[in-house]
Amino acid sequence: MVRQCSPVAVARGASASPSNGTADARCGISSLEARSESLPKLRRLARRREFLRVYETGRKLFSRYCVLFYADNGLPYSRIGITATKKLGKANVRNRLKRWTREVYRRQREPLGLDERSQDFVVNVKPDAANAGFAEYSADLLRVLRRAASAGPS
């Protein structure tokens, strides 16, 4: 009988024992592969006052599925905040759109040079986005992120 391991169990096991990047005997996954690709919490806006600062001092760009606000933050890296209101739909729809937004931002922040800009970005997701597919939504968000990256400082 082969027992399946979850990525969480592999990560816990990898952190509990010394590892040199070799394969985990139980799951066949190396500790290098089990590394998380999530957006670190330092790269996220969390407090209301941070969102309000971006709204009040920053610039905004409109697109089909979202409104992007951006402002300088004085830190050596960029951060993102996401708002998804109940107008979008139920919690699963809002959470899906927030996951998609984080994923697009996480994958595109380096190619677009967003980290060198040291800015905070707030993405307000519009209700139309609930009916969009990932390819459509990501293309729209990427387009507005490119415009923000090519614009001058806020």
Q: Are 123 and 48 in contact (CB under 8 A)?
A: no
What pLDDT was estimated at residue 41? 84
Cα gap 90→87, rounded to integer Å: 9
What pLDDT was estimated at residue 5? 57
**pLDDT tens per residue, range 11-20:** 555 555 444 5
Total residues found in the chain within this entry: 154
Chain centroid offset of residue 108 CA:
10
Q: Are 129 and 66 in contact (CB under 8 A)?
A: yes
- Does the pLDDT of residue 22 top 70, yes or no? no
> Average per-residue pLDDT in the chain?
82
Backbone angles phi, psi at 124, to 5 degrees: -100, 115
Q: How confident is the model at residue 79 (pLDDT cuts 50, 70, 90)?
A: very high
CATH of region 41-150, choose from 3.20.20.70, 3.30.230.10, 3.40.190.10, 3.30.70.1890? 3.30.230.10
**pLDDT tens per residue, range 42-53:** 888 989 999 999
Delimit the domains of the chain by residue range: 1-36, 41-150
What pLDDT was estimated at residue 17? 47
* 5: its two tokens: 């391991």
Q: Show the CA angle centred on residue 94, arms to residues 39 and 67, nearest 5°.
A: 75
Cα gap 105→154, rounded to integer Å: 19
Q: Which residues pair with 81 in a beta bridge?
A: 122
Lowest mean pLDDT among 23-32, 111-120, 144-153: 23-32
Percent of the chain with pLDDT over 70: 75
Edge to edge, the sheet with strand 59-62 lists 59-62, 66-72, 119-125, 79-83
Cα gap 46→37, rounded to integer Å: 19
Q: How many CB atoms lie within 10 A of CB 67?
A: 15
